[in-house]
Amino acid sequence: MFHFSNLVRSKSDPKIISTGPSSLTSADRLARGLGWFSIALGTLELLAPHRVTYALGMDGREGLVRAYGVRELLAGVLTLSVEKRAGLLSRVAGDGLDMATLLGELRPSNPRAGTVLAALVMVGGIALLDYTAAQDVAAQHDARRGRKRLYNDRSGFPKGIAAARGAALPRPARSTALS
């Protein structure tokens, strides 16, 4: 990726030879992947709902699939933002809604019941990933995590309190011109 950066940098800037280690944790990477997956799935559901309804034997419910696509797009954008935990939790809620909808389609009269069952298993696995990522992101940004810094050995007076006494600048003399 740094090769592209070198193409747009001015000639006076130093060239980037290699990049350092990433600051993203595994939870950040998983959240990012789930966010992009959500955007891709939302785009598919929004632009080609008839393919989804045909695959699942849900003909005539294209409007519902489009609405789910919009939900997926919004959840994906929120997951890629700084509020990724809220995005991941909204994805978990959306997965629950998807599973409830798919359970309604898992009936013997549906010729695509096998596909619906496979979709249910897939949505369950993704819901587990979403929940795990949300927990990891929450733990990563927990204020109680990590080593606390203690400043109880500092007084704010590097030369001591005795040296600070009387060190303030003298007040300017008042002029007597006012009287």
Q: What is the structure's pLDDT at 22?
A: 81
Q: pLDDT-derived band of residue 53, with 50, 70 and 90 as boundaries? A: very high
Q: pLDDT-derived band of residue 1, with 50, 70 and 90 as boundaries? A: low
Q: pLDDT-derived band of residue 50, with 50, 70 and 90 as boundaries? A: very high
Provide mean pLDDT across the span 66-82: 95
d(CA 84, CA 133): 9
pTM of structure = 0.69
Predicted confidence (pLDDT) per residue in 13-30, tens digit: 888 888 777 888 888 999
Predicted confidence (pLDDT) per residue in 115-138, tens digit: 999 999 999 999 999 999 999 999
DSSP state letter for 43 = H
The larger pLDDT score, comparing residue 167 to residue 83, is at 83
Q: What is the structure's pLDDT at 176?
A: 63
Asked if pLDDT for residue 142 goes beyond 60, the answer is yes
Q: pLDDT-derived band of residue 175, with 50, 70 and 90 as boundaries? A: low
Q: What is the structure's pLDDT at 6?
A: 80
Residue 16 CA, chain-centre distance (Å), reads 28
The larger pLDDT score, comparing residue 65 to residue 147, is at 65
List the domain boundaries for the chain.
32-146
Predicted confidence (pLDDT) per residue in 96-106, tens digit: 999 999 999 99
For the chain, state the CA radius of gyration: 29
The larger pLDDT score, comparing residue 37 to residue 172, is at 37
Q: What is the structure's pLDDT at 164?
A: 82
User: Nearest-CA neighbor of 30 among 97, 128, 99, 120?
Assistant: 128
Handedness of CA 33, 36, 42, 47 (dihedral sign): negative
Q: What is the structure's pLDDT at 36?
A: 97
